[in-house]
Amino acid sequence: MVAGNWKMNTTVAEGVALAAAVLERCSAETAVDVVVLPPFVHLQPVHEVLAGSRVRLGAQDVFWEDAGAYTGEVSAAMLADLCDLVLVGHSERRHLLGETDVETGRKLAAAVRHGLVAIVAVGETESEHDAGDTLAVVDRQLDAVLAAQSTALTPDGWVIAYEPVWAIGTGRTATPEQAQEVCAHIRVHVERRLGAAPRVLYGGSVSAANAAELFACPDIDGGLVGGASLKPDVFATIVAAAGTR
């Protein structure tokens, strides 16, 4: 899977054009689940662009309640007709907007309740990395998310994205060895808890130059791509790198 997280970028018209460009360049890539994650207001028109294609659509966030007095929020019930997937627990939501592990878990539960595949992002900050706490941090984040689930998670029902915070938008990618170590640890940790793990992606400054090396790692099943997903040619190169894995 290669998922493009557009973050808070593009106008609706630019987003529609970007989706069309991704569709043109990536729809022949049958070995890869290609996903775009545009801003909420783009979802309906991008849904129309992608209709009937292999490129899948997801939202960047979701609220855990289905409806009610939650000004500004968007529920999984609202997204279910438009999207296949939703990203939860991205580090920008955790660190800029104060989202907690427990809230991320509730968002995953809401997504699963409405048949959306949730991409759950986990990852350590630079100081946690430097202190050698990476594995403990991702375990804590995953355990909190799993504790919030009332129904069983199937491996196809969710995806984990390991994104070291110090690598996001910085141009400083984890080495393939570092990324492989953490993704392998995540897989074993979740298998111990649930019996089976979902796909595990790496994210954080994935580029056309480093994608093939990262995706060649045995426990990295694809990428969550931020900045590079806004450039359709670069994104297509990253998707192609996943296709030759």
Nearer to ligand PGA, 63 or 202 (CB): 202
Residues 6+ apart with CB under 8 A from 169: 205, 226, 227
Which amino acid type is present at position 186? I
168 binds ligand PGA (CB under 6 A): yes
203 binds ligand PGA (CB under 6 A): yes
145 binds ligand PGA (CB under 6 A): no
Which amino acid type is present at position 201? L
Judged by CB under 6 A, the residue of 227, 236, 238, 242 near ligand PGA is 227
Residues 6+ apart with CB under 8 A from 54: 27, 29, 30, 34
169 binds ligand PGA (CB under 6 A): yes
225 binds ligand PGA (CB under 6 A): yes
Q: Is 90 a catalytic residue?
A: yes
The whole-angstrom separation of Cα 124 and Cα 229 is 22
Selected catalytic residue, list 99, 103, 124, 163: 163
The whole-angstrom separation of Cα 37 and Cα 15 is 10
205 binds ligand PGA (CB under 6 A): yes
Give the residue at shortest CB distance from ligand PGA. Answer: 226
Closest alpha carbon to 54 in 77, 25, 79, 80: 25
Lookup: tokens for 196: 């089976």
The residues in 35-54 that bind ligand PGA, with binding defined as CB under 6 A, are: none
Selected catalytic residue, list 90, 114, 129, 189: 90
The whole-angstrom separation of Cα 34 and Cα 232 is 12
204 binds ligand PGA (CB under 6 A): yes
222 binds ligand PGA (CB under 6 A): no
Give the catalytic positions in this structure.
90, 163
Binding site for ligand PGA (CB under 6 A): 5, 163, 168-169, 203-206, 224-228
